[in-house]
Structure formats: C-alpha cells, structure tokens
C-alpha cells in the first residue's frame, strides 16, 4: 500500500477515535452524575461517571508530570515505530487506535482535568472508549508485528526482498 495512504488511514482512524471518544464522554458528563450508576445489562455492564486522575485504572494519581511523561514517551515510541514500518500491512490500524485513544484521554486532562471513565464491568475498574481503543490497539499491534515477522521470514526463505519482490540472483 502507498505510504501516503497508510499515513492517511492512521490519521483518519485517530480522528474518528478522538471525535467519538470525546462525544461519548461529553454525554456521560452531562447525563450521568458523578458516582451515579445506570444498568445496561443488569450488573454485567453498567454506565458510571468516574473521574480518573491517574493512568491505567488510577495509577500515578495526582502526579500530572509522571502521567504526561509516560504518555509522551509511549506516543513517541509508537510514532517512531510507525514511521519506520509504513510497509507493514495494517500498521495504520493499531497506530490510529493507540494515538486516538491516548489523545482522547489527553484532551480530557487538558480540558476537564481528570479523565472521564464510564464503562463498568464486574470486578474491573471503570474505563472509557479511549482505554478500549488503547487496549485493542496494543493487541492488534502485537498481531500485526507477529504476522509481519512471519511474512518477512517466509520471503527470506524464498529469496525475496520483502519491499521489492523476488531477489535478483544474477
């Protein structure tokens, strides 16, 4: 796939995640009071309004500098990986999910203060759509990286240059 298209798909995915995440969080903040609970599927799935001041289920709460540094480092590493692996099939999808999710929570921190969490499952801390995209993005990235490694290994076994097709053995 053309590198420009890969970047465009990652940017589109990022924008879509960010817009939907922020819209849903705004609805939650305006329609569900803090600490209020609404059953969706009985006690299996509930909507709540939780203000999260930390990352990863409230860790590092109250330390904005640590949170900011962790997010910045993770995004930088992802962007460097993405920029150096544009030829990897589907790399745009997890990249867009991860950046969109991270930015969704960063926007909360900048505009609201805490991150708005609203999805509650039994025996699990509340989370939000951005968190879901981050988690899904990590899983998909692992799959994409593993599949690409296998693709490159097969190509090498058959004497092919992964980026340019069959090797010229003249």
d(CA 133, CA 24): 14
The CA-based angle 12-17-19, given to 5 degrees, is 95
* Predicted local confidence at residue 43, as pLDDT: 84
Q: What is the pTM of this model?
A: 0.84
* Predicted local confidence at residue 58, as pLDDT: 56
Q: What is the pLDDT along the chain (170 residues), one digit of tens a residue?
A: 799 999 999 999 999 999 999 999 999 999 999 878 899 998 899 999 998 876 665 555 566 677 778 888 989 999 999 999 999 999 999 999 999 999 999 899 889 888 999 999 999 999 999 999 999 999 999 999 999 999 889 888 888 766 644 444 33
In angstroms, what CA-CA distances link 22 with 15, 18, 90, 111, 149?
11, 6, 25, 11, 35
Residues with a known catalytic role? 117, 131
Domain limits, the chain? 3-155
* Predicted local confidence at residue 67, as pLDDT: 72
């Amino acid at each position: 796939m053309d590198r420009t298209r890969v970047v465009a798909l990652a940017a589109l995915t990022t924008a879509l995640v960010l817009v939907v995440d922020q819209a849903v969080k705004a609805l939650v903040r305006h329609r569900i009071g803090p600490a209020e609970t609404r059953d969706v599927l009985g006690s299996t799935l509930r909507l709540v309004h939780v203000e999260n001041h930390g990352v990863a289920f409230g860790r590092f709460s109250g330390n904005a500098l640590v949170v900011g540094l962790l997010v910045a480092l993770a995004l930088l590493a992802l962007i460097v990986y993405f920029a150096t692996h544009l030829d990897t099939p589907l790399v745009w999808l997890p990249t867009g999910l991860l950046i969109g999710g991270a930015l969704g929570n960063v926007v909360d921190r900048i505009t609201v203060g805490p991150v708005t969490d609203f999805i509650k499952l039994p025996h699990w801390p509340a989370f939000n759509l951005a968190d879901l995209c981050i988690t899904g993005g990590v899983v998909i990235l692992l799959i994409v990286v593993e599949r690409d490694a296998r693709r490159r290994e097969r190509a090498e076994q058959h004497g092919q240059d992964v980026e340019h097709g069959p090797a010229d053995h003249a």
